[in-house]
Amino acid sequence: MSERLLVLVRHGQSEWNLKNLFTGWKDPDLTEQGVSEAKDAGRKLKAHGLSFDVAFTSELTRAQHTLKLILDELGQPGLPTSKNLALNERDYGDLSGLNKDDARAKWGEEQVHVWRRSYDVPPPGGESLKDTLARALPYYVQEILPGVLNGQRTLVAAHGNSLRALIMVLEKLTPEGILKRELATGVPIIYRLKADSTVESKLDLAG
């Protein structure tokens, strides 16, 4: 049995990350820095001797572009890839496209903080983190995890909140614990799993 390898990467910096906008399901591309972060992620994975059998990403450009740049660095541009909205970023609803400071001016600092940092309170017309988990986790369990357990070396390039859904399960975090977890852009997290799908080892390639 080959290793049960799962690597998660949040997309590189997007144009709207740079502008401090709520992005959600809007579809800006990477900045120059984001491109650099994605390429660097690929180089780090290559330096660790990693290659992959399959990849997963969202239906949003910034995640797909990140994945493409990583695979190019790894010399695996034709890797079989599944794209699914289950891995999309959390939908920020009426906040999407707004500057975070403008949103605070409109709804108040405390209300915006609740929307951003509570587990189960959605912004108007959008999703809470709990809602995001509700679509990302079944996809992980049904589509991603079985391949990992069968020895398919798997790379997932997605978003801060959809990846936090996966990390919540992998690291057995509480709702409070996952809220405190921040994911840096373009930083691979390497998990090796046991046969029962729990984590055997974890390596964060930050820095």
Q: What confidence tens digit (pLDDT) does each residue in 179-206 have?
A: 888 899 999 999 999 999 999 999 999 8
Residue 161: name the closest of 40, 5, 8 by CA: 8
Q: Identify the domain containing residue 65 by its residue range.
A: 5-204
Model confidence pLDDT, tens digit, residues 79-118: 999 999 999 999 999 999 999 999 999 999 999 999 988 8
CA dist 187 to 15, 135, 176, 184, Å? 18, 23, 23, 6
Residue 190: beta bridge partners? 7, 203
Question: Which of 151, 153, 136, 143 lies closest to 190 in space, CA to CA?
Answer: 153
Catalytic choice (65, 89, 127, 159): 89
Q: Is 48 a catalytic residue?
A: no
16 is in an annotated binding site: yes
pLDDT of residue 207: 64
**Among 11, 37, 65, 127, which one carries the catalytic annotation?**
11
Q: Is the dihedral of CA 189, 144, 156, 124 positive or negative?
A: negative
- Integer Cα distance of 118 and 128 in angstroms: 8
pTM of the model: 0.96
Establish whether 89 is a catalytic residue.
yes
How many domains is the chain partitioned into structurally? 1
Residue 23, domain CATH: 3.40.50.1240
